[in-house]
Amino acid sequence: MKQYRVINTETPKKEVNEYTITDTINANGHQEITLSRSYDETWSEDARGEERIKLIDTGNEYVFPKKMFSGDVGYDSFAELFILLSYVNRTEHMPLYKGRIEEIKQDETFDI
C-alpha cells in the first residue's frame, strides 16, 4: 500500500492537505486507487477521512464501483475526479494521455 497527500496550493503562502490517495492491490489482484478527504481541519469533523472516489484497474479497463458520474455532477466531484485522473496519468506505466490543447484562431477570411 502506498499513500499520498494531495496539497492544495491555490492560496498563496498557505498550502492545505485536502485529500489522501491510497494505492493498493485488492483481493482479486487489481489495483485500487482511492481518493479520500484528509483528516485536516479544512473539513468538518464528520467529513474527515470520507472516501470520495475509488477507481479499480482490472488490466482491461477502469471501473468506478460507485455510480457517481451519471446525471448531474457537482463541481466538487468533478475536481476530485480530476485529481484522481491526474494521479493515474502521472504514475501508471502507460499514461492516459500526453499532448496539449491549442486555441484555433482565425487570422484571415477571404471572400470568393
The per-residue pLDDT of the chain, averaged, comes to 90
Using H for helix, E for strand and C for coil, what is the string for the chain?
CEEEEEEECCCCCCCEEEEEEEEEECCCCCEEEEEEECCCCCCCCCCCCCEEEEEEECCCCEECCCCCCCCCCCHHHHHHHHHHHHHHHHHCCCCCCCCCCCCCCCCCCCCC
Per-residue confidence (pLDDT) for residue 73, from 0 to 100: 87
Q: What is the pLDDT of residues 17-46, one digit of tens each?
A: 999 999 999 999 999 999 999 999 989 999
Task: Note the pLDDT tens digit of each residue in 42-52.
Answer: 899 999 999 99
What's at 33, amino acid-wise? I
